[in-house]
Amino acid sequence: MKLAVIFNGQGAHYQGMGLDFAEQSQSARDIYANFERQTQLPIRQWISEDIAQLNQTRHAQPSIVATSLAIYEHIRPELPAIHFMAGLSLGEYSALIASGMLTLHDGISLLQKRGELMSTHCADLAENRPAQMVAVMGTSATELRRLLAEHAHELPNVYIANLNSSQQTILAGEKADIATFSDVLKNNGIKKVMPLKVEGPFHSPLMEPACAPFAQALASITFQNGDVPVISNTTLSPHEVATVKGILVRHLVEPVRWQETIEYLINEGVTHLIQIGPGNTLAQLLRRQENAPQCLVIDKVEDVEKLEVFLQGENL
């Protein structure tokens, strides 16, 4: 068995997420307490009583990573050797902290600054150049690139932001251009276009103004060699201390290459994946992945009961 742990990203939060772990596990409670103390945000209260607060990126990012790390810390003593970690978009930060490349303290500081910068820039865009992200399903990225190239002159502000699977690609761009391109897609028989509930056009050139201040924030953060290699969404190779800061800045404006990240893990011989974080997005994306490893989602306390059987290599 060769095991990788993968962490979910932004957008799959739900009321009550992770709180069952906090109720049963001191290590999970400690994670939430550390996030709340350092950020001065009432994360568990929001999750319990006011989940709409997580529609703001500045609140969602620390809350989702806190939940992912709380779950991970609860199950960590039961895990065998982990060969790789990765995370979709925001989930890459969960992986960097869980792997030991980032200390929890520095990770929390960086996440809070990242979320604030992204939220502030998205608010500025909303006033001047309203933007959004949409999921396009039922076609390939190759076909989307073809159509984007054909209409690049009249629709310059539509970008591929996430390459999630062979049948799901996320686009980001200005709302007017996205609406026009959605009509282009429908005219070409591509009708499944779903707006995403996010603040702005993440992982696209429209986020460029956030790069310089984020690079400045990264300058005071220390990275170290971790215990587990973390695969970059951007470069499709393990993060290294010497280059990680520059890559994380690029991560703001370049596509998330998630399908290729999974292909990397498959090519490295990974046979088992554990998805950690709210929801089951990553496991769903694997359904159309050729030769996909077995995947166990750990989202709720009862999911932990399946862990022993899963790690023995038996089908669930």
Pairing of strands 272-276, 3-7: parallel
What is the reported pLDDT for 290? 82
Gap between the Cα atoms of 231 and 264, Å rounded: 9
Q: Compute the mean pLDDT over every residue in the chain, rounded to the nearest whole number.
A: 95
Give the model confidence (pLDDT) of 179-196 as tens digits.
999 999 999 999 999 999
8 A C-beta contact, residue 229 and residue 85: yes
Q: Is the pLDDT of residue 313 over 90?
A: no
pLDDT score of 23 = 97
Please report which confidence band the pLDDT of residue 12 belongs to, taking 50, 70 and 90 as the band edges. confident
- Angle value at C-alpha 251, between 7 and 36, nearest 5 degrees: 55
Query: What was the pLDDT predicted at 316?
Result: 46
| Location of structure tokens 């890459």 | 92
Q: Could you give the percent of the chain with pLDDT greater than 70?
A: 99
Q: Is the pLDDT of residue 142 over 80?
A: yes
Cα maximum dimension of the chain: 56
Q: Write down the pTM of the prediction.
A: 0.96
Alpha carbon distance, N-terminus to C-terminus of the chain: 16
Q: Flag whether pLDDT at 314 surpasses 80.
A: no
pLDDT digits (tens, 9 = 90+) for 34-92: 999 999 999 999 999 999 999 999 999 999 999 999 999 999 999 999 999 999 999 99
Using the predicted structure, report yes or no on whether residue 315 has a pLDDT greater than 90.
no
Buried b / exposed e across 252-274, counting CB within 10 Å, b at 16+? bbbbbbbbebbbbbbeeebebbb
Instruction: Give the pLDDT of residue 197.
Output: 82
Residue 272 three-state SS: strand
Residues 6 or more apart whose Cβ sits within 8 Å of residue 77: none
What is the tens place of the pLDDT at every residue in 213-230? 999 999 999 999 999 999
Q: Name the percent of the chain lying above pLDDT 90.
A: 95
Q: Could you count the other beta carbons within 10 Å of the beta carbon of residue 290?
A: 8
Give the CA count within 13 Å in the CB-facing half-sphere of 31: 26
208 touches 64 (CB < 8 A): no
Quote the pLDDT of residue 289: 84
